[in-house]
Structure 1
Amino acid sequence: MERKNISTGSHWEKIVGYSRAVKIGNHVHISGTTAINDQGRIVGLGDPYTQTKQTSKNIESALLMAGGTLENVVRTRIYAVNSAHWKSIGQAHCEYFAKIRPVTSMVEVRRLIAPEILIEIEADAVIDDD
């Protein structure tokens, strides 16, 4: 089965040794994704809703590079530093995934890689063989 590693060119990918996404066959696995914009800056400081929206855009971008769309997402995993933010995180997630309705989980974690990052999302997708 063919493997395709998908990179966004982030310097972290080489430092840590990972790919933004890996496509094997028609399955796409997207690494933990945060609210980093194209300039490498964290978007939505102090705002979990805005960070969730940017993170969802970043997931969508990785899927497009893999030949898919958000409609192909079957699972998301949300890591939040404060579960009290669940409503705003959920609202932003819903804006991207309401029609798709992937399985999901939201887990509170003590912290993420940088103190300004409030959420991180992983995603799995299945792209049709058409």
Structure 2
Amino acid sequence: MTYDRQLVSNGNPMEAVVGFSRAVRVGRHVAVGGTAPVDAQGRTVGPGDLHAQARRCFEIAQEVLATAGAGLEDVVRTRLILTDIERWKEAIEARKAFCLDARPVDTIMAVTRFVNPEWLIEIEVDAIIADRDR
């Protein structure tokens, strides 16, 4: 069986330079890469505010999923990557607004820092598009 491969961009000029996509859809699977808390101009949203940053990451992921033909109901895994693991509950509060109904599996982990030191979190999302004809 052969599947088409759809690359989803959000316009980041580094995608072509570095060789990455915001998301990739292969068949019914959509993988959304590490999503940072940035606005349309690339500025950090909510410096110091983990909840606001997590919410922004999920908003971006939701937009990318839609572009790939998926929705929040298709999410099967989330990964919350934090610079301060002690603040995990703030991230989970934001996650609930986007994932409570789908109840995907979740991983929460910590890193030392991100490329932009203002970022407190990045989020990855995997989805499998449901066969809605069943």
What is the TM-score with the length of structure 2 in the denominator?
Answer: 0.93
Deviations 1:77-122 (A, max 9, x none): 1110001111111101111111111101100111111100000111
In structure 2, what is the equivalent of residue 108 of structure 1? 110
Letter of the 1:9 partner, please give it.
G
Deviation beyond 2 Å, 4+ runs, structure 1 = none
**Match status 1:73 vs 2:105:** no
In structure 2, what is the equivalent of residue 91 of structure 1? 93
Which of 31, 34, 39 aligns to 2:33? It is: 31
In structure 1, what is the equivalent of residue 65 of structure 2? 63
* Unaligned stretches of 5+ residues in structure 2: none
Alpha-carbon RMSD across the aligned residues, in angstroms, is: 1.0
1:108 and 1:2 map into 2 onto residues whose CA distance is 34
Structure of higher CA gyration radius = 2
**Match status 1:10 vs 2:18:** no
In structure 1, what is the equivalent of residue 24 of structure 2? 22
1:24 and 1:63 map into 2 onto residues whose CA distance is 13
State percent identity of aligned pairs: 41
SS in 2 for 1:107: strand
Deviation at 1:28, TM superposition (A): 0.4
In structure 1, what is the equivalent of residue 123 of structure 2? 121
Deviation at 1:12, TM superposition (A): 2.4
Number of residue pairs aligned between Structure 1 and Structure 2? 130
* Unaligned stretches of 5+ residues in structure 1: none
| Greater displacement, 91-100 / 48-57 | 91-100
1:70 and 1:125 map into 2 onto residues whose CA distance is 8
